[in-house]
Amino acid sequence: MVKIYTRKGDDGSSALWYGGRVAKSDPRPEAYGSIDEAVSCLGLCRAGAGDDPQLSADILRIQTELFVAGAELATAPSAADRLEPGVSKVTAAMIEQLEADIDRYMSCVDLPPKFVIPGGSDLSARLDVARTAVRRAERRVVSVKLGGDLPDETVLVYLNRASDALFAMARYADELQPKVFEGRG
């Protein structure tokens, strides 16, 4: 049996890749922990997108890319040069793909001329929850940046586009999924 506990974090610290420990409340663990939460939220979305293989594939890709962002943030800043683009470091190509996704999904929907209230369908509500989790992760990365501990801002731009992509996907899901309140007075 593989043991998943190490007891090293029992003192309230967390290890960074390539050396060093920081408090679990440090901006870095807060940031990559928020990304982990967003990945889990997207798992609920993907489980609910079974009828749409393209949407499901796009969600899975974003989940995978968020793990890349998490790896980048979990790396000691002094070891940033050891990160691999697309594996443990967010790339400009990943951002460009999100922008293409946003355009593709938004071309399929008509936005109402007011704020969109989440809950038009089960899947869109899940996507909106995931979007807000990504926004929280983005705010946590801003804290890392403000602390002078973010060598490259690409991960911050990626999270901004990822939340926009999830908004677009949620509106797409509103158009395609049965309405939650359909048929109710």
32-89 per-position pLDDT tens digit:
999 999 999 999 999 999 889 999 999 999 999 999 999 999 999 999 999 999 999 9
Distance between CA atoms of 98 and 178, rounded to whole angstroms? 26
Query: Residue with structure tokens 């470091």?
Result: 89
End-to-end CA distance of the chain: 55
Please check the confidence at residue 146 and state whether its pLDDT lies above 80.
yes
CATH number of 26-176: 1.20.1200.10
High-pLDDT (> 90) share of the chain, %: 82
Check pLDDT > 60 for residue 20: yes
What 68-72 contacts at long range (C-beta under 8 Å, 24+ apart), as own/partner pairs, is 68/94, 69/32, 69/35, 69/137, 69/155, 69/158, 69/159, 70/32, 70/35, 70/36, 70/39, 71/17, 71/32, 72/155
Q: Where are the alpha helices (DSSP H) in 49-112?
A: 53-73, 92-106
In the chain, domain spans: 26-176
pLDDT of amino acid 177: 58
Q: Which amino acid is at 117?
A: I
Report pLDDT for 113: 79
Q: Is the pLDDT of residue 179 over 70?
A: no
Q: Is the pLDDT of residue 185 over 60?
A: no
